[in-house]
């Protein structure tokens, strides 16, 4: 339980009581709040947590600066020694000089109760020693250094420290950035370290911790943490497939591959895990026997689709193995492997012109799939070999496809080179799982050109079709503008997972250093 104290401590005691009151109120109101108010409250809570994390760093640093672990919490400066003896005890001891001398000889000098500041924080706050050391480590680099005259100096990581002081980033993000900069410090130039810190701090405010983890790794690799790139001879000596024997009925293989070799292997394996590939296959495809063998592959009764799709029970690791084995089988049988993702079958969708444009409600009709919504038809058409047949109100043919309706191979390669994966902010889906999306819809007169296209995964493709997000092309680059309920300022965003901007930042830092 916190006790009354002076200064900032007194304010925090009062603030804690107020926060507890708000928490109790939130528990009661959360079930009846509007979704907007609920979302705002959750966001404000997160912002408050970031401020608290900064206070934790400040406190840890102050405790270390004042050496509380060794000197103790008492303002008298007596340290962690035992309380003074009672007054009547002194008279008793004074009556026996010899005994007093002997006792003094045996009495040990008082010692601190804690080994160091981290040990003190663990005991005082009930946190782990690892967490205590993390706070001390981060605080040492983001808070101003004290000069010998007692005046505050500059912090090692000023940009990171400022962001933390403003409550703009979390302690987790700050730790990732601080530790990454520290790891590359021995091999990176000072201007590169500043560029790394500044850019990662800015990106931490624009994205989530998962994406930041990837950006941190990219910066470390760019600054060449491990020294010069291994020579081709060294890579050749280390690469290979190593047989580790058979255990529990399974053969163990370890693969050491170059970047190029890994890309080939991963491409083949990921064919089996691509979510765009239909999984409506019988379990017997993977060595399992169905409960009713005669029913496998049978036509649904009355020509109706049962609507049941077999759910793949395999783990991702099992799917990767099956994909690799399938690729090997195909290579043995045909001497060539399929293109990534293959081709979708051609589908003909019949839909009224007004339904297609969204002027009235209605559905389209696919040859095999039955009724489909106009939105579904437009979304699938973005990246499938589909020729739309548009009919007028009397059933007359108004349009049978359009020249250059689909992004051809060359266009898709260009989109992959630019977007690298799903272009939606923070999405990590690779390019082989994406669909080419018309920024201005084709049905609304949008051209099938690279400048009017972008790669989106199936989820974000459907999200964009809802119309809440917008895409704005700036100098040939798609930027995503969120709806006002997510960002009142509607600031344009780009996927930082695929575009960390490391090369540009390093070039700017080097140019600034040379001037």
Say what the pLDDT of residue 498 is: 84
Say what the pLDDT of residue 359 is: 58
* Whether 432 contacts 341, CB under 8 Å: yes
Residue 396 has pLDDT above 60, yes or no: no
For residue 123, CA distances in Å to 59, 116, 296, 342 come to 15, 11, 64, 60
Dihedral sign for Cα 459, 460, 462, 466, please. positive
Cβ-based neighbours of 168, under 8 Å, separated by 6 or more: 50, 205
| pTM (predicted TM-score) | 0.60
Distance CA 179, CA 343 (A): 45
Cβ-based neighbours of 487, under 8 Å, separated by 6 or more: none
Residue 285 has pLDDT above 90, yes or no: no
Helix (H, G, I), strand (E, B) or coil at 468: coil
Say what the pLDDT of residue 118 is: 92
Helix (H, G, I), strand (E, B) or coil at 493: strand
**SS3 sequence of 400-461:** ECCCCCCCCHHHHHHHHHHHCECCCCCCCCEHHHCEEEECCCHHHCCCCCHHHEEEECHHHH
Find the mean pLDDT for residues 257-279: 70
Say what the pLDDT of residue 303 is: 42
Find the mean pLDDT for residues 320-349: 57
At 270, the pLDDT band (50, 70, 90 cuts) reads confident
Other beta carbons within 10 Å of 452: 18
Find the mean pLDDT for residues 85-90: 47
> Which H helix or E strand runs over 57?
helix 35-65
At 164, the pLDDT band (50, 70, 90 cuts) reads very high
Most confident of 283-287, 349-353, 375-379, 440-444: 440-444
Alpha helices in 76-231 (DSSP H): 87-94, 97-106, 117-125, 129-142, 158-165, 171-184, 190-206, 209-222
Say what the pLDDT of residue 344 is: 37
First-to-last alpha carbon distance for the chain, in angstroms, is: 57
Percent of the chain with pLDDT over 70: 66
Say what the pLDDT of residue 485 is: 82
Name the residue with higher pLDDT: 2 or 417. Answer: 417
Other beta carbons within 10 Å of 227: 7
Residue 449 has pLDDT above 60, yes or no: yes
Other beta carbons within 10 Å of 436: 22
Find the mean pLDDT for residues 139-156: 83
Residue 226 has pLDDT above 70, yes or no: no
* Whether 157 contacts 200, CB under 8 Å: no
**SS3 sequence of 347-374:** ECEEEEHHHHHCCCCCCEEECCCEEECH
Name the residue with higher pLDDT: 35 or 282. Answer: 35
At 511, the pLDDT band (50, 70, 90 cuts) reads confident
Say what the pLDDT of residue 229 is: 61
Name the residue with higher pLDDT: 107 or 460. Answer: 460
Find the mean pLDDT for residues 61-73: 89
Name the residue with higher pLDDT: 304 or 312. Answer: 312
């Amino acid at each position: 339980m916190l006790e009354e104290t002076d200064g900032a401590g007194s304010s925090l005691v009062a603030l804690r009581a107020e926060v507890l009151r708000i928490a109790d109120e939130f528990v009661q109101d959360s079930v009846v709040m509007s979704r907007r108010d609920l979302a705002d409250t959750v966001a404000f809570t997160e912002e408050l947590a970031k401020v608290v994390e900064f206070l934790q760093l400040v406190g840890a640093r102050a405790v270390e600066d004042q050496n509380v672990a060794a000197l103790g919490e008492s303002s008298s400066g007596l340290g962690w020694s035992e309380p003074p003896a009672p007054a009547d005890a002194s008279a008793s001891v004074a009556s026996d000089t010899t005994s007093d001398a002997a006792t003094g000889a045996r009495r040990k000098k008082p010692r601190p109760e804690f080994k160091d500041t981290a040990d003190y924080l663990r005991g005082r706050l009930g946190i782990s020693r690892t967490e205590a050391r993390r706070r001390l480590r981060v605080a040492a680099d983001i808070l101003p250094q004290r000069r010998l005259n007692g005046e505050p100096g500059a912090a090692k990581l000023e940009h990171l420290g400022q962001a933390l002081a403003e409550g703009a980033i979390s302690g987790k993000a700050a730790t990732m950035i601080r530790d990454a900069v520290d790891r590359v410090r021995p091999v990176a130039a000072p201007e590169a370290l500043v560029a790394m810190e500044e850019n990662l701090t800015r990106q931490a405010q624009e994205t989530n911790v998962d994406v930041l983890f990837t950006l941190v790794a990219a910066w470390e690799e760019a600054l060449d943490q491990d020294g010069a790139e291994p020579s081709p001879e060294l890579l050749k000596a280390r690469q290979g497939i190593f047989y580790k024997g058979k255990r529990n009925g399974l053969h163990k293989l370890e693969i050491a591959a170059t970047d190029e070799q890994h890309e080939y292997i991963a491409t083949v394996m990921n064919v089996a895990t691509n979510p765009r590939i239909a999984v409506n296959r019988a379990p017997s495809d993977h060595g399992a026997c169905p409960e009713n063998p005669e029913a496998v592959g049978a036509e649904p009764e009355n020509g109706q689709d049962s609507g049941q799709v077999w759910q793949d029970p395999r783990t991702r690791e099992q799917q990767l193995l099956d994909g690799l084995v399938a690729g090997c089988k195909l290579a043995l049988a045909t001497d060539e492997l399929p293109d990534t993702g293959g081709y979708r079958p051609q589908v003909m969708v019949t839909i009224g012109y007004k339904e297609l444009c969204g002027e009235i409600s209605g559905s389209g009709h696919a040859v095999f799939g039955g009724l489909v919504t106009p939105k579904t038809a437009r979304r699938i058409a973005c990246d499938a070999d589909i020729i739309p047949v548009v009919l007028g109100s009397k059933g007359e043919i108004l349009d049978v496809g359009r020249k250059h309706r689909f992004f051809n191979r060359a266009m898709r390669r260009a989109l992959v080179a630019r977007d690298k994966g799903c272009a939606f902010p923070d999405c990590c889906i690779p390019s082989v799982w994406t669909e080419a999306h018309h920024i201005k819809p084709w049905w609304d007169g949008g051209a099938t050109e690279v400048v009017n296209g972008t790669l989106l995964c199936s989820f974000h493709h459907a999200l964009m079709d809802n119309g809440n997000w917008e895409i704005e092309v700036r100098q040939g680059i798609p930027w995503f503008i969120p709806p006002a309920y997510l960002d009142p300022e509607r600031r344009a965003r780009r996927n930082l997972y695929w575009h960390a901007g490391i090369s540009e930042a390093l070039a700017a830092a080097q140019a600034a250093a040379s001037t």
